[in-house]
Structure 1
């Protein structure tokens, strides 16, 4: 396995706080710093394409993925993203091959996956205790192998966005127009849905099922309030996400705080959103 100790040493050097000298805190920060740019760019597209409900359905399918892993004595850290990927692609396939509206399709999957997960958990009450850390998130337990997977996902996502960003804009405006410009709409949508599902599932470990959609939506919404173009919106979302995860992890480790890392990260992002609303209001005046 690749040695990640130089990365952890760099994090400790760049963030010379007492709490960041612990190895597990360096691992957690590495995971969050990899997730931040991915959720920033995907969050912008989720906001622009009105796919917040889609990401919410994927995150809640984590219940079923975790429950299946625990039931069959497999690592939930792997069954969860695998199951989320299947659900994300399943939603996209049904959207493309049925006459139902997108919200209806997503709602059916949302309800079915939550019910499936709860049904599995209800058969074994001891599973409920293990599900709690996925409900609230626990980035402090991230492993080196999971960080390596995040690095691979980050590289894959950046390659996809570099090649397909303009195509996704076409599809978001008008799929028929995109086809007229010879954009392979189905391929782009399937890749986007699969990557979004993986980003959401890995984010569940950071902030939990209840808050994972907020990690996508809140920074993108704040960036939209203060930006004047699609390019500046990305950089603002990246700044807000990166500062939120850094401040959130450090604050949560302080003796006077002792709060859940995921919740603290989202609260910092919400602070950014409030500030962006004030700036937007002052600009309008």
Structure 2
């Protein structure tokens, strides 16, 4: 496994806060700095495509993925994203092959995954204690192996976005017209669903099942209020995601706070959203 010490040392020099001198805090910072741009990029599409319920269903499948890993004596940190990927692709397959609405299909998967996870946990009450880490999130326990996996996912997603972003927007506006213009709609939809599922599963590690959808939605929604163009929305979302991640980590480690890192990250992002609403109100008051 590559030695990530130079990366951690660089982060400690760039952000010389006392709380970031511990190695586990540097690992958490590295994980958040990799995760924030990915949730920013995917969050824009999730907001524009109205897919927040899809992300919520994927996040709640974490229960089943973790429970299966614990039951089979496998590492839940890897069974969870693998199971989430299968669920994401399964939802997309069902949406494409069924006449049911997207919300109905997602709702069925959502219910089935939560029930499946709870059923497994109910067989062994001791599993409930292990599930709490994934319920609330704990980015402070991220490992070097997970950071390397995030690096690989980051490169994959950025390549996918660079090659397919405009076509994804086209599909979101009118998939039939996109297909008529020889856009490979099915392939792009499956790739998007698979990458979104993996990002959601890794985000569960940071903020937990309960808040993972907020990590995708809140920065993108705030950016939509600030921005006046699609390009500006991307940069605003990136700024809000990164600043929320760093500020949330630092604030949560202060003696006067000592709050959960994931919850603090989301609270900072919600602060950005409140500012964006003020910006919208200010623009409405301006004379035409």
1:241 matches 2:231? no
1:151 matches 2:144? no
The alpha carbon displacement at 1:35 in A equals 0.3
Aligned to 1:23: 23
1:41 matches 2:8? no
Aligned to 1:203: 203
The alpha carbon displacement at 1:3 in A equals 1.1
The alpha carbon displacement at 1:270 in A equals 0.1
Once the two structures are superposed, the pairs formed by residues 89-168 of structure 1 within 5 Å of their partners are 89-168=89-168
TM-score, length basis structure 1: 1.00
Deviations 1:28-58 (A, max 9, x none): 0000000000000100000000000000000
The alpha carbon displacement at 1:2 in A equals 1.0
- 2: CA distance, partners of 1:166 / 1:240: 22
CA RMSD of aligned residues (A): 0.4
**SS of aligned partner of 1:73:** coil
Aligned to 1:220: 220
The alpha carbon displacement at 1:253 in A equals 0.5
- 2: CA distance, partners of 1:227 / 1:177: 27
1:251 matches 2:273? no
Aligned to 1:63: 63
Aligned to 2:182: 182
Aligned to 1:88: 88
**SS of aligned partner of 1:196:** helix
Aligned to 1:72: 72
Aligned to 2:193: 193
Deviations 1:181-215 (A, max 9, x none): 11000000000000000000000000000000000
- 1: CA distance, partners of 2:51 / 2:267: 22
Aligned to 2:4: 4
Deviations 1:134-182 (A, max 9, x none): 0000000000000000000000000000110011011000001101111
**SS of aligned partner of 2:74:** coil
- 1: CA distance, partners of 2:177 / 2:154: 30
